[in-house]
Amino acid sequence: MTNIVSPVAGAVVSKAPERRDIGIKRRYAAERRFQAYGMAAIAFGLIFLVILLSTVIRQGYTAFQQTAISLPIEFTEKTIDPSNKRATDPSVLVAANYGALLRDAVVKELNINASSRPDVRDASAMLSKGAPIQLRDMVVADPSIIGKTINVTVLADANVDSANKGQIDLSVDEKNRKINDKQVGWMNELKSSGALFKQFNTGLFVNGNSSRPEAAGLGVALIGSLYLMLIVLVLSLPIGVAASIYLEEFAPKNRLTDLIEVNINNLAAVPSIVYGLLGLSVFINFMGMPRSASLVGGLVLTLMTLPTIIIATRAALRAVPPSIRSAALGLGASKMQMVFHHVLPLAMPGILTGTIIGLAHALGETAPLLLIGMVAFVANAPTTPLEPSTALPVQVYMWANEAERAFVERTSGAIIVLLLFLIVMNLGAILLRRRFERRW
């Protein structure tokens, strides 16, 4: 018997360690690896978020400051109005050579030999090409300043601005950069005398588009985006809420309402550029609305935002407990009264949160606006939604396509402004939800 038992026992003894080794170590290692993959994936996403935001901010925060030069300008009568005709013919003031005034002022300020033409040209190139227009507007507004000397602050040229902000590598050979050593020297001279300084860039928020980076601003885009948001809000909130109330509270379960449901879910996933095509062919081509107008853009974005708002509103309506409905109906309210007096007010925080998120989405949308012509170069602020306009993200797109270095800074600045708006809207949505959301 022992002979028989012992091999079995021996087998048990000898096999036992083998059987106990069920690869626990290997399996735990796999477990740890698996967890590490998960953490790496989240870290990857977050790192990219950080890189994206920090790149934009690093490139863009300087756009909120602009280099300006303060010069004592002599409004000499000889240059502006040599034949003294301004009393009879005010157009002299508009056509006068204001560039000469600036040139003289710069030459005097920097003590340059006025007969050396390259020097004079380089020196006046340090000022923005928009500066003569600024002087013209001053004189036209108040002709009595002719003959006086006034300290005027004009914008510096974009290249001087970039150099002043340290964005141009000055160790590169002079020929390969847009600002030469002499200009850098003058810049430093003006800087130490306090005539050249950085100031807050109000132009970025006020000016229209311009081909000169230092004068280009987001003014038109901000107004255009404001119009767009107003139109989207005014149209999509009532229509979206009405549609959701019908679907959630009144719709009978039939083919038609099923179709509407499937439709809304699909519309939420239609590429935004398709809405642009719709706007182009229906609103502009068929109905004859003006191209580039924010009205058309608003309508297109409304159609695009509606599904988002409807889905959010339906979720908010569904979250109102049935007891509220039963109580209202039990006290003799009609179904319509029940919805409008009781359910809707309780669902309002959720609806508004969804609306704000939908609006934020619409604010950042670019592609449909490109198709309906909102990429137009607009320099003057539109006064009605029917005039040509542009929008914040479209302005970003247009500046991103510009070649000049200074536009990269502007583009990043515009993105920061856009992101700030989005952050404010999303924070508002979160606060609204925290403050008013009721858990039943």
Q: Is 377 in the site for another protein (CB under 8 A)?
A: no
Q: Which one of residues 200, 250, 377, 436 is an interface residue with another protein (CB under 8 A)? A: 250
The vertex-391 CA angle with 385 and 397, nearest 5°, equals: 150
Q: Which helix (H) or strand (E) holds 343?
A: none
Between 91 and 281, whose beta carbon lies closer to another protein?
281
By beta-carbon proximity to another protein, the closer residue of 23 and 194 is 23
The answer to the question of residue 329 lying near another protein (CB under 8 A) is no
Residue 262 in the binding site for another protein (CB under 8 A): yes
From residue 73, alpha-carbon distances to 70, 97, 105, 138, 272 in Å are 9, 13, 6, 12, 52
Interaction between residue 184 and another protein (CB under 8 A)? no
Smallest CA-to-CA distance from 268 within 217, 303, 314, 231 is with 303
297: how many CB neighbours lie within 10 A of its CB?
31
Q: Are strands 65-74 and 196-200 parallel, antiparallel or unpaired?
A: antiparallel
Pairing of strands 149-155, 65-74: antiparallel
- Distance in Å, CB of 366 to another protein, minimum: 5
Whether residue 101 contacts residue 76, with contact meaning beta carbons closer than 8 Å, is answered with yes
Kindly identify the residues of this chain, within the stretch 412-431, that bind another protein according to CB under 8 A: 412, 415, 418-419, 422, 426
Rg of the chain in Å (alpha carbons): 33
Q: Which of 231, 245, 320, 378 binds another protein (CB under 8 A)?
A: 245
Q: What is the rounded CA–CA span in Å between residue 292 and residue 284?
A: 10
Give me 178's structure tokens.
Answer: 């847009």
Contact positions with another protein (CB under 8 A) in 72-111: none
Q: Which is nearer to another protein, 19 or 78 (CB)?
A: 19
Check residue 397 and report its DSSP letter: H
Q: Of the two residues 49 and 230, which places its CB atom closer to another protein in the complex?
A: 49
Report in angstroms how near the CB of residue 161 gets to another protein at its nearest. 19
Selected binder of another protein within 46, 114, 206, 230 (CB under 8 A): 46
Task: Using alpha carbons, select from 88, 65, 86, 68 the residue that is nearest to residue 77.
Answer: 86
Closest distance of CB 230 from another protein, Å: 18
Closest CA to 191 of 130, 110, 291, 77: 110
- Interface pick for another protein out of 57, 145, 239, 289 (rule CB under 8 A): 239
Among 128, 308, 313, 366, binds another protein (CB under 8 A): 366
Residue 329 C-beta: closest distance to another protein, Å: 14
The size of the interface with another protein (CB under 8 A), counted in residues, is: 86
Q: Which of residues 209-238 bind another protein (CB under 8 A)?
A: 238
Q: Residue 268 Cβ, how far from another protein at the closest point, in Å?
A: 9
